[in-house]
Amino acid sequence: MRHDLPYAAPGSTVGLLGGSFDPAHEGHVHITREALKRLGLDAVWWLVTPGNPLKTHGPKPLETRLAHAREIMQHPRVTVTGIEARLGTRFTAETLGMLFHLYRDVNFVWIMGADNLADFHRWERWRWIMEALPVAVIARPGERVAARTSPAARIYRDWRVPGREAERILRMAPPAWGLINIPMRPHSSSAIRARGEWTD
Ligand X SMILES: O=C(O)c1ccc[n+]([C@@H]2O[C@H](COP(=O)([O-])O)[C@@H](O)[C@H]2O)c1
Decide if residue 113 touches ligand ATP (CB under 6 A). Answer: yes
**CB-count burial class (<10 Å; 0-12, 13-18, 19+) for 154:** exposed
Strands (E), the chain: 13-19, 43-48, 78-81, 107-113, 135-138, 160-161, 177-180
Instruction: Quote the DSSP letter at residue 5.
Output: S
Binds ligand ATP (CB under 6 A): choice among 19, 50, 82, 178: 19
Site for ligand X in 52-81 (CB under 6 A): 52-55
Site for ligand ATP in 40-69 (CB under 6 A): none
Least Å from the CB of residue 49 to ligand X: 4
The Cα 20–Cα 58 span in angstroms is: 10
Decide if residue 91 touches ligand X (CB under 6 A). Answer: yes
**CB-count burial class (<10 Å; 0-12, 13-18, 19+) for 97:** middle
Decide if residue 136 touches ligand ATP (CB under 6 A). Answer: no
| Cα 127 to chain centroid, rounded | 16
Q: Which stretch binds ligand ATP (CB under 6 A): 33-41, 83-91, 155-163, 183-191?
A: 183-191
Out of ligand ATP, ligand X, none, what residue 188 binds, judged by CB under 5 to 8 A for its kind, is: ligand ATP
The Cα 149–Cα 154 span in angstroms is: 6
The Cα 185–Cα 41 span in angstroms is: 21
Decide if residue 89 touches ligand X (CB under 6 A). Answer: no
Out of ligand ATP, ligand X, none, what residue 123 binds, judged by CB under 5 to 8 A for its kind, is: ligand X
Binding site for ligand X (CB under 6 A): 18-20, 47, 49, 52-55, 91-93, 116, 123-124
Contact set with ligand ATP (CB under 6 A): 17, 19-21, 27-28, 31, 112-113, 115-116, 138, 140, 185, 187-190
